[in-house]
Amino acid sequence: MARDRQIALLFPGQGSQTADMRETVDRLRPDLLELALEEVGPDLFERAADGTRWAQPAIYCAALAGAEELEVDAGVMAGHSLGEITALVHAGALGAEDGLRLVAARGRFMQEAAEETGDGGMTAVRAREDNRDVIAEVATANDVAIANDNAPDQLVLSGAVDALDRVEAQLQERGVRGKRLPVAGAFHSPLMQPAVEPFRAVVEDIEFAEPRVPVMSCVTARPFEDIPDQLVRALTEPVLWLDVVRALDERGVTEFVETGPGHVLTNLVKKSLAMEAAGA
């Protein structure tokens, strides 16, 4: 029997930035553009590729504006990393201005944490069902965290640059390929700890409401329960995106719509569900 139509609306995280983000926000949410330029700086969108303190609020604004244009009747929402905040805003758990303040602070504190802890980075690793334990063992032995579980064939590792060098070499000896990502920080790892308390202070100053539809947490792969706590935990804990996709599939979702910018999440979803169906 075919499933009844149910839509999940997806909100992208960092790495999804595109050149037309400012134009999108100016066209659809000029009020949000004005707030963003005041909160972060007049060169916000031009500097989106320069670091997380600019990329996160720029993507937040573009994704929120894009979601309003889509006018999708979603029964559930999910966001990858910072996209969780955008999803919560679109679901009515907090206002757009508070969401911008939260994302701007998050990006700033994460960049400052990366600068404080020294060289940090992230490596995408080609995973398989039969080598995930090996990847985890090598990472743990070198004090490297699994930051993102994005798809059945993709894990992202996070840690100090010299530790990532060792992990990449040891995994290559085991036939596992890795690719260093162009980010200047060990995001979603214990090296983000300096950002935790400053971010918690901002989170605790915001009043959250019950979202009008369930919003999935990437920390638990279940609908948000304690929004402030789970947003703070997300700084140092992994993004369980594959588990979120599985949970959405189990909820009966039949259609996945991404707000943009980019199509990173819908591509991951299609690949993940196809590989799961094939038993990969």
Distance in angstroms (rounded) separating the CA atoms of residues 36 and 22: 10
In this structure, the dihedral spanned by the alpha carbons of residues 145, 151, 154 and 157, taken in order and rounded to 10 degrees, is -10
* Nearest CA among 28, 34, 29, 25 for reference residue 59: 25
* Nearest CA among 262, 183, 184, 239 for reference residue 17: 262
263 classed as catalytic:
no
Q: Which of 90, 158, 188, 272 is catalytic?
A: 188
* Nearest CA among 67, 79, 75, 68 for reference residue 213: 75
Q: Which of 16, 80, 81, 272 is catalytic?
A: 81
188 classed as catalytic:
yes
- What tokens were used for 183? 């980010």
Q: CA dist 179 to 81, 122, 126, 156, 183, Å? A: 20, 9, 9, 9, 12
The letter for the amino acid at 4 is D
CB-based contact 220:156 (threshold 8 Å): no
Distance in angstroms (rounded) separating the CA atoms of residues 81 and 83: 5
Residue 164 φ/ψ region, left for φ over 0, alpha for ψ in the -120 to 50 degree band, beta for the rest: alpha
- What tokens were used for 13? 């995280």
* Nearest CA among 147, 151, 149, 153 for reference residue 131: 153
Exposure of 180 by Cβ count < 10 A (0-12 exposed, 13-18 middle, 19+ buried)?
A: middle
Catalytic center residues: 81, 188
